[in-house]
Amino acid sequence: MKNVYLISYDVSDAKRLRLTHRKLCGFGTSLQYSVFRCELSKLQLMSLKEGLWEILNLVEDRVMVVDLGPAGARGDDCVEFWGNPRTEIPERKAFVI
């Protein structure tokens, strides 16, 4: 079962900032410049955390992970947007090739 996570970050170094953004792009959708919405299983969340721990300097950088609850439940209803959203949240689907 997957949960919806809201992940934001504040990274002080330009290289680590780019690497953090790229890493999160592989796991979710960018809502704002440093804010992502991710639907992750426990295993995927651990994989993301381990990947970020390799990139970040935890003395200088910060990441916030908020568990919004199960995907398809109230997770997306917890977030309220004001103004013009940067991106729409796409419906994610699996494709069999």
Q: Which domains does the chain have, with CATH numbers?
A: 3-78 (3.30.70.240)
φ/ψ bin of 72: left (φ > 0), alpha (ψ from -120 to 50), beta (otherwise): left
**What gap in Å lies between CA 50 and CA 70, rounded to an integer?**
22
What was the pLDDT predicted at 55?
97
pLDDT at 75 over 80: no
Grade residue 90 by pLDDT with cuts at 50, 70 and 90. low
Most confidently modeled range among 18-27, 62-71, 84-93: 18-27
As annotated, the binding site includes 10
As annotated, the binding site for Mg(2+) includes 10
What was the pLDDT predicted at 56?
96
pTM of the model: 0.78
pLDDT tens digits for range 9-65: 999 999 999 999 999 999 999 988 899 999 999 999 999 999 999 999 999 999 999
Q: Are 31 and 87 in contact (CB under 8 A)?
A: yes
